[in-house]
Structure 1
Amino acid sequence: MDSLDKAQVLLLCDLCQRAPLQSHCELCHINLCKTTHRNIVNCEKCDIPVCSTCISSGKHHGHIITDILQKLTSKTKDLEIDLQELEKRIHPTYKDIALDLNSEKESLEKHYEKLTTAVTKQGEDWYREIIIIVNKQKSEIDEMKSKHLAVLNKQEKEIKQITSDVRECILDLKKILDSNDVSLTSGYKSRNAEFRSLPPKVNVSLPSFSSLQINTEQLHQMFGSISPLSITTEEHGYTMKTPEAVTSPPVKPLLDKPELITTIDTEYNKLYSVTCLSDEEIWTRGQDKIMKLNLQGKVLKSIQTKSRNEPRDIAVTKSGDLVYTDSYTRSVCIVNNKQRQEVIRLQGWRPRNVYSTSYGEILVNMVSDDNKQSKVVRYLTSTEKQTIQFDSEGKPIFSSGNLKYISENRNLDICVADYEAKAVVVVNQAGKLLFRYTGHPSTDRGSFYPVGITTDSQSPILIADKINSCIHILDLDGQFFCYIDNCNLEFPLGLCVDTSDNLFVAEYDSGYVKKIKYM
């Protein structure tokens, strides 16, 4: 039964040809008015609205007939119950599962690092005699780690997809309830039973290294062994949340007044970028061909670009290698132990800003040679994996400007500070546009000029506003939190955060990096 209240052309009742139609029989397709000819009931067996003409025809002989309003009332109540369950139980449960998987992935790295350290120490003691065994067992660890991570990534992807489906289902149900559209309500099919069936939980017995006393005569047997990686699934490992148990993940509170911890003089005349190697070590790049590794104001290492040109941007990989872009040679290079290796060479495009993701991929912003197009490309080593350039309507997501700092949050959303567009553009992992932030609407600071961008462990987005000399803090959905504007910032440009959520700000004119505690 279709509601035609909003039809642009007035349609009349098929029986009286006077009153506007209000009902439609899905079986015989007759249109009926609201007053004298509104004879629509619901056939329970066929589960469709039908008119009195269809009932008398004998096609529904013996079927249970109910009042259509009673049927719609019952359906509406079912919709409300499903919506409440989706919002209060099913959706929070999948969100918690995703958080658990993310936490497990974070602890996974530390465990395997300890495992590798134990094997390495044992190998150093007996290096000359057992180097072959050491390398073999390291390889076993890496292989198990990859399998372990692959299993978690697979389940995390599945959970995110289901969570997205649940979210969409919630929105659809709300639209149906808000629309009062009889046709949509009648045709609703619940998916809650599908969502109640939670995925099996993956249980992993983490491998460990068992060292033995060294005996040169029985070196191979005595060196030690690594327990095998054990991966199983537990059908009922997860339990559905009760509404009372729904909680939000812990959030670090923001300081009322951020504190300036230290100021580091990089000795650059103009400073563009800063990126964290550790909580104390930072890489910086300025207006020359040298990139510097700095520890508490002391330069530990200086690296010159392979082409002797000024690098466009820098980043640090998960393994601790330095990545830089060279627009002059159209290349992206990685520095490992002072060895500079070109991993990407472009044609028709020039690389600009760069970011290394949590999964070891590289995101590169690039502009076309004619400066009319811009895109973000995801690489795994030198292999192009994804291109983000247009929205669902085929319109450019980014401006054609050269300056676009990039970051990624814990949800794997890609956050781009588009300076020319005066906006922060956020897309999800698939490249779908999520939102744009163009500055706080009630501000009297003037235009928004976003440059450096980073995200912290809680996923808020921090953006350097160069002209207004402040830092904007947004939540995961792009809602404004607050400013950092009390640390005497002057033309902030590059940003990064360490593992303790301390913020490093590269000041363009002064050449200083300021370390700020804001949580």
Structure 2
Amino acid sequence: MHPRRSAQEVLLCDLCETVPLQSHCELCNINLCKACVGEHLSDTSKDHKVVPFLRRKATPNYPKCPDHADKQCEIYCEKCDIPVCSTCALFGKHKGHDVSNILEKLGAKTESLQKNLKELETRIYPRYEEMVSNVETEKAELERNYGKLTTDADKQGEILHREITAIVNQRKSAIAEMKTKHLDALNINTDEITQKMAELKQIMSDLKSILKSNDVSLTSTYKSRNSEFRTLPPKVRVTVPSLSAQKINKDQLNEMFGSLPPLSINTEHGDTMKSAEAVSSPPVKPLLDEPRVTATIDTRYYRLYSVSCLSEDQVWTCGENKTMKLLNLQSKLLTSIQTKSGYEPYDIAVTRDGDLVYTDEYKHTINLIKNKQIQTVITLQGWRPRYVCCTAANDLLVTMDSDDYKQYKVVRYSGSTEKQSIQFDDQGRPLYSSGGYAFHPSYSYKYSKYLSENKNLDICVADIRAVVVVNQSGKLRFRYTGHPSNTKQSFDPRGITTDSQSHILTADCGNHRIHILDQDGQFLRYIHCDLRCPYGLCVDIRDNLFVTECGTAKVKKIQYL
């Protein structure tokens, strides 16, 4: 029972907490009894508005202005993206800025929170419940199958009788051990899912509290984690072995009894659920006939290589020095971080949590930057990390070449654990060309092989003179070697990225343009936009394209959809 409610659910005064409430102050958003009204009104620093409780309105809990103690922030500054008071808007530091009705902003944000809560309650959490139920069913099936396996072992033991008693016991012991390990793996899987469910319950509870509080500050600062939980936890799948037996031969009893295959516990990638909006109405964005540059960022590097979006108006960049820079669209430096080793980073990527990852070819490391602290998560032996991207499942894909530059591969990591290595096709031939520098008449470029994961989970690599695309399992889908009609200019792919329409975009550096392909490798059109040696590419959540120009050290933001 609520500590401030009796068995009859009597609501009490917020001040004395002992007497039933009668009134409500709409300014302060508190409930009052008759005796406490006078005490509350004695504070003459505010224009209190006390009304009967049943006539109260749903008054927003406006934040106080940090510059004017007697004012509340009842206006929203569009430029600064914060609530402000009327004095600040008319005469203070927000004078001349575009402002809007804060209640409209609150309404839009509240609607977004309600959608988040609805998705968690009706779509995401039930899928977790379903996963737990499926694991429990599989555990019961595991019990039955292992019971049958044990029975088969007993029957075989009866046939061979006393001469194979010792072998029977050995096999039963092995079966019991495998069963225990399988059950342990499933129990661990259940615990992981249950832990996620507990987190979801807490998030749903917090969202309900925010929605109930009508608090602008809490509502405005809430950061949705729905995208994190759309990626369902990994599912452990176990394979029950079978018992193979042969005819009795006393000289080969141990072999004839039947052997057990190695224990098999496979963990599948957790499915990524589409958002409720994507499920209900997948957006279709046609290509613009004339793409246009909407912003240009001057990074002040000597040579500029990579760019990765943190948001629609903030990008991380790296170039020909040891410093990685976070810049806004006005070229303002927001943050800069130097590599741990003092060498220049080879490539950068932003994770789904908003952290920065960079590769260091000289130290053979892959590093994570969280809260400006650098942590080395992977150290390679015999291989040099090159380009990196973050996948929809929050894995890392890394291109790397051997120390002797004769081999190249793509490796998938979950945390610091290698999950997949992609190097050869079905005939055992290398999928990717060996390393080496590509040259331009003015200056040399780094090794190629930028990479990106497409929405259909294909892995797209900008190789030397070709874009190589494999599916999620690493099987070759196609190679794109440039527009078929162009026989005079060599295709020179560098940066590569993909968008919400599963388009593949690659920078044709030497020819100063970008190729747009569909997900099956069919050429759609070029983007020119006065580009000079386009190099690194990325797209933001609204499919705006960011392009680095290596020589000018500028990033161009391009609208092409």
Q: TM-score, normalised by structure 2?
A: 0.50
Alignment pair present for 1:211 and 2:245: no
1:300 counterpart SS class: strand
Matching residue's letter, 1:281? Q
Alignment pair present for 1:332 and 2:366: yes
1:467 counterpart SS class: helix
Deviation at 1:252, TM superposition (A): 1.0
What's 1:273 paired with? 306
Alignment pair present for 1:405 and 2:439: no
Q: Is the 8 A contact 1:502 1:515 kept in 2?
A: yes
Matching residue's letter, 1:416? V
**What is the identity percentage for the equivalent residue pairs of Structure 1 and Structure 2?**
59
Deviation at 1:445, TM superposition (A): 5.2
Alignment pair present for 1:380 and 2:423: no
1:505 pairs with one of 538, 547, 552: 547
What's 2:389 paired with? 355
What's 2:515 paired with? 472
Change in 2 beyond 3 A, CA 1:483/1:322 = same
Q: Is the 8 A contact 2:327 2:333 kept in 1?
A: yes
Matching residue's letter, 1:477? D
Tell me, in whole angstroms, the C-alpha distance in 2 between the residues paired with 1:366 and 1:315. Answer: 15
Alignment pair present for 1:147 and 2:189: no
Deviation at 1:144, TM superposition (A): 5.6
1:416 counterpart SS class: strand
Q: Is the 8 A contact 2:322 2:345 kept in 1?
A: yes
What's 2:242 paired with? none
Matching residue's letter, 2:544? N
Tell me, in whole angstroms, the C-alpha distance in 1 between the residues paired with 2:429 and 2:487. Answer: 31
Tell me, in whole angstroms, the C-alpha distance in 1 between the residues paired with 2:126 and 2:371. Answer: 24
The runs of at least 4 aligned residues of structure 1 exceeding 6 Å deviation read 110-113, 148-151
What's 2:319 paired with? 286
1:457 counterpart SS class: coil
Deviation at 1:443, TM superposition (A): 1.8
What's 2:460 paired with? 415
> 5+ residue gaps in structure 2?
1-111, 136-196, 214-228, 233-280, 436-446
Q: Is the 8 A contact 1:294 1:301 kept in 2?
A: yes
Deviation at 1:115, TM superposition (A): 5.8
What's 2:558 paired with? 516
Deviation at 1:211, TM superposition (A): 2.6
Change in 2 beyond 3 A, CA 1:511/1:113 = farther
Matching residue's letter, 1:291? M
Q: Is the 8 A contact 1:445 1:468 kept in 2?
A: no
Tell me, in whole angstroms, the C-alpha distance in 1 between the residues paired with 2:560 and 2:545. Answer: 7
Tell me, in whole angstroms, the C-alpha distance in 1 between the residues paired with 2:130 and 2:391. Answer: 15
2:481 pairs with one of 438, 448, 461: 438
Deviation at 1:251, TM superposition (A): 2.7
Deviation at 1:483, TM superposition (A): 0.3
Q: Is the 8 A contact 1:112 1:145 kept in 2?
A: no
What's 1:128 paired with? none
Q: Is the 8 A contact 1:272 1:494 kept in 2?
A: yes
Tell me, in whole angstroms, the C-alpha distance in 2 between the residues paired with 1:146 and 1:322. Answer: 30
Q: Is the 8 A contact 2:448 2:493 kept in 1?
A: no
Deviation at 1:269, TM superposition (A): 1.0
Tell me, in whole angstroms, the C-alpha distance in 2 between the residues paired with 1:299 and 1:148. Answer: 46
Change in 2 beyond 3 A, CA 1:269/1:387 = same
Deviation at 1:459, TM superposition (A): 0.4
Tell me, in whole angstroms, the C-alpha distance in 1 between the residues paired with 2:556 and 2:514. Answer: 12
Spell out, residue by residue over 1:423-460, the C-alpha distance to the aligned partner (whole angstroms, 9 max, x if none): 00000000000000000010255000100000010000
Bigger share in strand: 1
Tell me, in whole angstroms, the C-alpha distance in 2 between the residues paired with 1:149 and 1:345. Answer: 38
Matching residue's letter, 2:325? K
2:128 counterpart SS class: helix
What's 1:367 paired with? 401
2:450 counterpart SS class: strand
Deviation at 1:300, TM superposition (A): 0.3
Q: Is the 8 A contact 2:295 2:557 kept in 1?
A: yes
Q: Is the 8 A contact 2:297 2:328 kept in 1?
A: no
Tell me, in whole angstroms, the C-alpha distance in 1 between the residues paired with 2:282 and 2:209. Answer: 39
Q: Is the 8 A contact 2:517 2:524 kept in 1?
A: yes
Tell me, in whole angstroms, the C-alpha distance in 2 between the residues paired with 1:346 and 1:411. Answer: 29
What's 1:495 paired with? 537
Deviation at 1:499, TM superposition (A): 1.0
Deviation at 1:255, TM superposition (A): 0.8
Q: Is the 8 A contact 1:506 1:512 kept in 2?
A: yes
Matching residue's letter, 1:268? Y
Deviation at 1:495, TM superposition (A): 0.2
Tell me, in whole angstroms, the C-alpha distance in 2 between the residues paired with 1:347 and 1:145. Answer: 43
Tell me, in whole angstroms, the C-alpha distance in 2 between the residues paired with 1:466 and 1:364. Answer: 21
Deviation at 1:463, TM superposition (A): 0.4
| Higher RCO structure, 1 or 2 (CA under 8 Å, sep 6+) | 1
Alignment pair present for 1:426 and 2:469: yes
Q: Is the 8 A contact 2:383 2:403 kept in 1?
A: yes
Matches within 5 A, 1:213-292: 251-292=284-325
Spell out, residue by residue over 1:4-60, the C-alpha distance to the aligned partner (whole angstroms, 9 max, x if none): xxxxxxxxxxxxxxxxxxxxxxxxxxxxxxxxxxxxxxxxxxxxxxxxxxxxxxxxx
Tell me, in whole angstroms, the C-alpha distance in 1 between the residues paired with 2:349 and 2:129. Answer: 27
What's 1:392 paired with? 426
Tell me, in whole angstroms, the C-alpha distance in 2 between the residues paired with 1:318 and 1:145. Answer: 23
Deviation at 1:147, TM superposition (A): 3.5
Change in 2 beyond 3 A, CA 1:332/1:111 = farther
Change in 2 beyond 3 A, CA 1:115/1:274 = same
Tell me, in whole angstroms, the C-alpha distance in 2 between the residues paired with 1:390 and 1:372. Answer: 13
Change in 2 beyond 3 A, CA 1:301/1:145 = farther
Change in 2 beyond 3 A, CA 1:289/1:384 = same
Tell me, in whole angstroms, the C-alpha distance in 2 between the residues paired with 1:340 and 1:313. Answer: 15
Deviation at 1:262, TM superposition (A): 1.2
Change in 2 beyond 3 A, CA 1:112/1:292 = farther
Q: Is the 8 A contact 1:263 1:512 kept in 2?
A: yes
Tell me, in whole angstroms, the C-alpha distance in 1 between the residues paired with 2:326 and 2:395. Answer: 22
Change in 2 beyond 3 A, CA 1:470/1:144 = same
Q: Is the 8 A contact 1:293 1:302 kept in 2?
A: yes
Matching residue's letter, 1:451? R
Change in 2 beyond 3 A, CA 1:418/1:282 = same
Matching residue's letter, 1:280? D
